[in-house]
Chain A
Amino acid sequence: MGGKSEPAKSESMATKPDLLNTSFFSFKSLKLKTKQQELLLRISILGLVYILAFIARLFSVLRYESMIHEFDPYFNYRTTLFLTEKGFYEFWNWFDSESWYPLGRIIGGTLYPGLMVTAALIYWTLRFLRFFVHIREVCVLTAPFFASNTTLVAYFFGKELWDTGAGLVAAVLIAICPGYISRSVAGSYDNEAVAIFALLLTFYLFVKAVNTGSLAWALASAFGYFYMVSAWGGYVFIINLVPLYVLVLLITGRYSMRLYIAYNCMYILGMLLAMQIRFVGFQHVQSGEHMGAMGVFLLMQVFYFLDWVKYQLNDTKLFQTFLRITVTSAILVGGVAVGVGTASGYISPWTGRFYSLLDPTYAKDHIPIIASVSEHQPTAWSSFMFDYHILLFLFPAGLYFCFKRLTDATIFIVMYGLTSLYFAGVMVRLILVATPAVCLISAIAVSATIKNLTSLLRTKQKVSQTGSTKGAGSSKASSKVTLDQSQPFQKNGAIALLVGVFYLLSRYAIHCTWVTAEAYSSPSIVLAARGAHGNRIIFDDYREAYYWLRQNTATDAKIMSWWDYGYQITAMGNRTVIVDNNTWNNTHIATVGRAMSSYEDEAYDIMRSLDVNYVLVVFGGVTGYSSDDINKFLWMVRIGGGVFPVIKEPDYLVNGEFRVDKGASPKMLNCLMYKLCYYRFGELTTEYGKPPGYDRARGVEIGNKDIKLEHLEEAYTTSNWIVRIYRVKPPTNRL
């Protein structure tokens, strides 16, 4: 930059010796060319967006402390800790006897290692550079770091789809979009933190490969797919979307050599690399969910073969016949292969988790565990609005622009957007997968609209320029006059509309910041409420209970609780649990559910058979905390009743209604969960003006206040009564 304008500087110094140029450093050398100005602007915008994406996710770290949130991240944290302490081979071959008590769990073969390996690599890199940070800090900040990287990938993807303006807008939109922030806030150390980055990277590399037809980009996309497979079970979305996209391109007549190279390379190499992950194993050739990709792969070969034959034969009639034979036989052979594979059981059918996406009513009727998770509920309009705001308006407009200018790349983003939005409608959790597509398409709409409006602003200058330089002929003069009459109106209108667009985008930014601060930055393990004078009260009961367990129980003690808390108990309490969040064994969970819903004697038999030493329940009656075990109780009954028909849900309901007050069913008033939650609660006054034993979470006075426990005794209750731990007494001596 300095070199090019040097001759100008020396010239100006020689010809115009005035005040400005007397200094050694002339201001003329600072004036950049337009291209360089644009580059500087772009790089500074991307840098600011990178920083913005990181700091927008730090609310909970600033408000509470740097800790891991929720339930699943505690398992990830524990495995990362193990990886950094013991090394990769121990991690890869780890059999954990501390969870799922009598069964144990093969952790090395049942997890997606991408997240842990990434965090461990960052940790080792920092240690190599002599920054001795604790692994917990690295885990907490992994998600914001990868969110920043996602904005960069979104910029390049937008550039590939439309132009650099759309890329920049996409980067900004995705940096603060609440749909993405909800699962990538600092402390949310979960697979999605890395997986969304891997997803967008794979898609970008694949689209680049289809656009350029280069083998290098296709190889890169295969490695991106490998990273995605190692990171998250949602890779099934990629392995079904990409073949669907290829199929659509074939149907719309866009078959080309570039597509052939890109898809073949990505599919074969991606499949081979994916088999390196033990949890995935041979699913790419055995599971029904992956067969679509194989079918499209074979179809591409048929297309290539027919193209080659057409090139060799010069006779069109002969070729038509040959075409009909080949297509018929290919379809027949494919159908027979699929039939034989499915019938013989080699190709396994779609698993329940993914089948419930295609048929949303399936989980409600058949698999209560999947139906019970709150994140798996279908989406209402307000969740969409909450997570997307302005983008819901811009999405259809962006689709329109994509349809106006159909290229291979825009067809891809349209398909990604539509399929992911449908799945987001089926399950709230999948709004996260739809977010990059929605942001990219909205960015196209914003960029195209702003370009239209600014071109309106510019036309007047262009016309006046041509008028002055060319010298107006009579026709030109008259047209210039008529144009001039509408120009100021158009120009003012365009300026007003531009102001409107910027107003909408600023409202989007305000909304996103508010949503992030209020709704998505709570660590779930620490609860906060507003006190009587508006001050903030913190409930740290969970960690209090887990540390009590860690310090006051025998090291081989076994804890029975509902599966929600399993990961946290093993990570923070360092004790063996019976069931945890992995939910891989439905019968084991049903056994625990049965124990919780039976009378104390039957439950005691079950607990003795499982060697349980302590029982942990979560109770929200004193604080009004509504996600406690009594509110989850019906799911325990349903899951337990699904395996043991002796547990019947109507026994616990009165007229179809779930009650805990005097009118509750007798089975409910005497089951183990009720007794453990409300033991000694009848003596406690929770709210001014209400009788003792008033449950603030349900809003009623409890029915059975006089509870006596025969086989258990109370071991610990936290300061706000949220977590209650009971010791299982050994059997009485026989006389």
Chain B
Amino acid sequence: MAPRSDSQTLATGSDENESSIDPIFHILRIIPFSFLRPPRLRLKLPSFTLPSPMTVFSLILLTYFLVVSGFVYDVIVEPPGIGSTQDPITGSVRPVVFMSGRVNGQYIIEGLSSGFMFVLGGIGIIMLDLALDKNRAKSVKASYATAGVSSIVIAYVMSMLFIRIKIPGYLR
């Protein structure tokens, strides 16, 4: 149990006039407030309640998405949002989505889309677990299960596709 006091309204302060052992309170009672009259306010100190675990979890999921998309890489190295290459014959500029040539390099959009796939896979597994919760209607459970399985399948297939495009020699 955290021995931290929560709010105390100013109104109850006056009750402690005689019995308070707080030296600062007594000093303040004498020095400004013997001739100044504090106004009557209806203020409450903001109370501090802890958020629920699931709220914290959703914030964490957002942070995970940013980190895994290579957000820090984007901020420091400042790559372009999408790369471009010039066709040597026609001279037209074609966009290049995946930075090729090295493992530790990316463009911003490819990072964000891959991060989204990872989070989608994670959410798929979470939905599978929600589908097995006993206290729901059967149709809701079935839809959760199908959504979960399809999310995992899509996320895995897309991630494998991305990594195959990025690293040409993957698994060969």
Contacts and interface: CB of A to CB of B under 8 A. Distances in A.
Contact of A378 (B4, B5, B77, B128): B77
Given A381-B106, A400-B129, A320 B75 contact: no
Interface of A: 250-253, 255, 303, 306-307, 310, 317-318, 320-325, 327, 360-361, 364, 377-386, 392-397, 399-401, 403-404, 406, 414, 418, 421-422, 424-426, 428, 445, 448-449, 452-453, 455-456, 486, 493, 497, 500, 504, 510-511, 514, 518-519
Q: What is the interface of chain B mostly: helix, strand, loop, or mixed?
A: helix
Nearest to B123: A396
B118 A392 contact: yes
A253 B163 contact: no
A320 B111 CA distance: 52
A382 B166 contact: yes
B60 A510 contact: no
A318 B111 CA distance: 57
A511 B118 CA distance: 17
Contact of B152 (A255, A393, A452): A393
Contact of A425 (B21, B70, B149): B70
A373 to B, nearest CB: 13
Given A378-B72, A393-B156, A424-B67, 11 more contacts: A253-B50, A378-B77, A381-B114, A381-B115, A382-B104, A386-B167, A392-B118, A399-B64, A449-B129, A456-B132, A514-B170
Contacts of A327: 4
A656 to B, nearest CB: 15
A21 B161 CA distance: 59
Nearest to B110: A381
A397 B70 CA distance: 20
Contacts of B24: 325
B160 to A, nearest CB: 8
B36 interface: no
Interface in B57-77: 57, 60-61, 63-64, 67-73, 75-77
Contacts of A380: 70, 73, 103-106, 111
Given A380-B106, A393-B118, A396-B123, A403 B54 contact: yes
Interface string B12-52: 00001001111010000000000000000000000000100
A99 B115 CA distance: 45
B104 A395 contact: no
Contact of A253 (B2, B19, B115): B2
A684 B166 CA distance: 36
23 contacts: A250-B2, A251-B50, A253-B1, A325-B22, A360-B76, A364-B76, A377-B104, A378-B72, A382-B103, A382-B104, A382-B114, A385-B162, A394-B122, A396-B61, A396-B118, A397-B122, A399-B60, A400-B57, A403-B56, A424-B67, A425-B71, A497-B149, A518-B169
B21 A318 contact: yes
Nearest to A452: B132
